[in-house]
């Protein structure tokens, strides 16, 4: 089979479309809830349905799924399926997984560490009473950061051979 004839069946494209559609919706909902204030700034309206927050949660969850999927695909392409399976078991964090395939951009790895800390606190109820609760996060701001992280990871991986 030639390289051009390989077909990879993956849900990554759908996951990414969910992320980008949710980001657009989230930001639109935020804009709808803002009324310009005389003298600058905004008055934020309460949204009883939490529409922008719901979209932010989708983004935060699906970025994690995308990062795992992207890592696995790149690990197999650069190394092997056996390597990817072993690294998946042995690496204690997703940033470490990315380092083991050659991603070395410190700012991206730091952003990834931040993302997983935020995700743990925002998404997992068990984290609300845990040692992790040291900051209050704005889910919508963190969701936008997560999308930028995803783009940065893809950019950095594009520099690697494979």
What are the counts of helices (DSSP H) followed by strands (DSSP E) for the chain? 6, 2
Break the chain into its structural domains and give their ranges: 3-158
85-112 tens-digit pLDDT? 999 999 999 999 999 999 999 999 999 9
Q: Could you tell me the pTM of the whole model?
A: 0.85
61-80 tens-digit pLDDT? 999 999 999 999 999 999 99
Query: Within its chain, how far is the Cα of 81 from the centroid?
Result: 23
Residue 58, pLDDT score: 97
Q: Which residues of 137-146 are buried (b: 16+ CB within 10 A; e: fewer)?
A: bebbebbbbb
Would the pLDDT of 3 be above 80? no
Residue 5, pLDDT score: 43
Would the pLDDT of 1 be above 50? no
């Amino acid at each position: 089979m030639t390289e051009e004839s390989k077909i990879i069946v993956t849900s990554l494209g759908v996951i990414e479309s969910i992320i980008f559609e949710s980001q657009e919706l989230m930001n639109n909902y935020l804009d709808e809830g803002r009324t310009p204030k005389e003298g600058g700034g905004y008055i934020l309206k309460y949204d009883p349905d939490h529409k922008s927050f719901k979209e932010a949660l989708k983004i935060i969850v699906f970025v994690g799924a995308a990062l795992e999927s992207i890592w696995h695909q790149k690990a197999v392409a650069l190394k092997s399926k056996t390597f990817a399976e072993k690294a998946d078991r042995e690496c204690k964090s997703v940033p470490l997984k990315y380092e083991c395939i050659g991603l070395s951009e410190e700012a991206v790895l730091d952003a990834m560490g931040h993302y997983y800390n935020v995700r743990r606190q925002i998404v997992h109820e068990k984290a609300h009473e845990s040692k992790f609760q040291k900051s209050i996060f704005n889910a919508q701001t963190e969701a936008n950061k997560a999308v930028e992280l995803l783009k940065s990871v893809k950019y950095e991986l594009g520099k690697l051979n494979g």
